[in-house]
Structure 1
């Protein structure tokens, strides 16, 4: 293993981690304030990717496509909250799971009906197609570094929003005692719609940016959603700081495991056996990590409530 390869995979892990943070931050915000288990969160990721790809191809402007994708995800999220989610707040979690799972099917089949089953392909904007030279001479794509920078900016923005603004005060109060802030005159229904739309917008931003790295296709949000749930369990449900730390941890561990575990097993196994064992263990690595952390910190690394 060379230093250059290690640095390259470390940055890949950070890029995956920041993308997972965009997904997990919205998910943990919704669950922490509203107590809602939203399995359809990955569908907003898909909406952001599809709208970004379509608008970018139509206009030739990635920035316009990115803006449209985030706004579309936020708008769809607000509509879903108004039409479906609002009826689930006082229902058991099983009802929430079943209803939001049904939304996954509706979004997937609706997207397939509108755009077909063939994947769409989106290239990064021309100004971000360059490379940055890493120590050792390897060239790393500039666009992936931009994704990391966007994730950091979003993390700082969420921190300032929640800790320094009136809306953030209401969000924190809603986590602690929603009945009390309702009695003080805060419109709980409007606050919930805004929070849900904000979470959907963050998922749409993740999908919009990752859509330039992989194909945009039906069902692309479900695998990411599973990792996002792992992130919020590791970080602590309802904690934005926990979502950031958990996402970086999961991203780095997952990336490093998939690259270096097969190479490790090749030291004492045949290449075919090493590839099989290494790949299988790498796929389980983040879940093993989650189990170890929960064994010592049952509420996650940064529990939102004690």
Structure 2
């Protein structure tokens, strides 16, 4: 790893700003106002800034296996499932360990004050519904708010776009208690009718024949290998002077285009197969839970996080629970 002097100055500035008392959003705003590009040329956000502040590589150290691939070839963040390996003084440092640790302490303290838990450098949502309620009208996420009906306060979730500009989205707020009641109702329907809902879904997913897809992937891999061999042969002929440069470039570009097409096809088919395998596993997990569970009497965060991908808000009277197993179940809200 080699330090990029221009980008290193930005990293040093970010750490210095935090130590001087600035928050990550303010730092991001300042960088954008001064037209400082991110590494990929985009705009700065508080999340981008926090990612830099939690990256040990800027101290000269490096941690290997922060992510890992499961048996279905899906990439996951490593939260302790696999061993990690720290190599100290791996490369030139940009910030000192003392500054890095001081910034980490500041970030942790701010997180505690805001009620946000920090896990492995990633900020988690304080509430199970945070970032998971999607407006069907405009596509925005919902924000948690405290409302009052004149006699008592209650929690509600409101469309972000509606809050900022009511004329651009007419979606009304939804009460937190109504969502939780709907979730309990939905889960109880699955517990009662799992044989008629989840069992057929699992059987259908398992009956999908992936053999043809696996054969297609093998064929594509063979073609990719042949393409590589042809490219090497072409290079050898060019090196020995047997090929005209113009012909060499034409053939090389043709092989490169073919290689890109083959790899895209392979990735598309692999993604489809892996997605099907993941859905089978998710349905199986939900089926096992509903088969042995008694009817729920109260909402539980853990159950929601285990089985729900997100919530679609259709109106104040109806929402849909998009489950991790690939199906969406609608529920009426009891107001």
- What is the TM-score when the length of structure 1 is the normalising length? 0.24
Larger gyration radius, structure 1 or structure 2: 2
Greater helix proportion: 1
